[in-house]
Amino acid sequence: MRKNHQITAIIEREGNGYTSLCPELDIASQGNSVEEARNNLREAVELFFECASETEIKERLLNEIFVTRLEVAVG
């Protein structure tokens, strides 16, 4: 039975393409567009869940990830 997990995808431009990161599992991917980077990350995460042992999943899966913006003083 398949179980759905909600994960975070952080996508940023890098050169002519995009990188994508799932901080809950520390898995990254890339693509030529935002959508491609997102889809490639989804595939990488799905492959991880298919191949990893329950122990590895429990060790790597972080349940609390906070993504926020900070204002910092410069100069």
pLDDT in tens, 13-43: 999 999 999 999 999 999 999 999 999 999 9
Residue 31, sorted as left (phi over 0), alpha (psi -120 to 50) or beta, turns out to be beta
Helix (H, G, I), strand (E, B) or coil at 30: strand
The pLDDT tens digits for 39-56 are 999 999 999 999 999 999
The single-letter code of the amino acid at 16 is: N
**Residue 7: partners with Cβ closer than 8 Å, 6 or more residues away:** 22, 24, 25, 45
Entry pTM: 0.84
**Distance from the first to the final alpha carbon of the chain:** 55
CATH number of 1-75: 3.30.160.250
Contact criterion met (CB below 8 Å) for 8 and 28? no
